[in-house]
Amino acid sequence: MLEVYRAAELEVRPDEHLALARGRALTLSVRELQVLVALARREGRILSREELYESVWGGELRDDDRSVDVYVHKLRTKLGRALPDWRFIHTHFGFGYRFAAEPAFTALSQPGHNQVTASHPSA
């Protein structure tokens, strides 16, 4: 049986080396797909940078290595372009990253996110 992970309009198929957004294939590097799969397999759970590094790169994370952060940023950018109404990778400062589909407007309304409000001049 093939592995398939679904979250909102995102589908990840590790056995086919494929990620789909609204049914359309995303252009991801091998490493980006590996990071996405590692997160999707543990949906809802916070994974430390060390856990992600070990799972994807197969070694121990060095103190000065920012590989995980770089690839998470690349994934967020690509997922955000493909599915702008959704947020999938959430940072838990001091802990790690969590994969879960959440509407973008909900993510922006959470504490710690900046909100922009429009002001309308009085007539």
What pTM was estimated for this model as a whole?
A: 0.83
Is the predicted pLDDT of residue 117 greater than 70, yes or no?
no
pLDDT computed for residue 106 by the predictor: 55
Residue range 29-41, pLDDT digits in tens: 999 999 999 999 9
pLDDT at 118: 36
CATH number at residue 84: 1.10.10.10
Could you give the CA distance from residue 98 to residue 115 in angstroms, rounded to a whole number? 22
Average pLDDT score over the chain = 87
Q: Which helix (H) or strand (E) holds 114?
A: none
Amino acid identity of residue 63, one-letter, is D
> For 59-110, how does the pLDDT look when each residue is reduced to its tens digit (9 = 90+)?
999 989 999 999 999 999 999 999 999 999 999 998 999 999 999 875 444 5
Of all residues in the chain, the percent with pLDDT exceeding 90 is: 80
**Total tally of structural domains belonging to the chain:** 1
Mean pLDDT, rounded, for 28-54: 96
Sheet holding 96-103, edge to edge: 46-47, 96-103, 86-92
Q: What is the pLDDT of residue 13?
A: 96
Q: Which domain holds residue 97?
A: 5-108
User: Could you tell me if residue 114 is inside a domain?
Assistant: no
pLDDT for res 78: 97
Q: Is 113 among the domain residues?
A: no
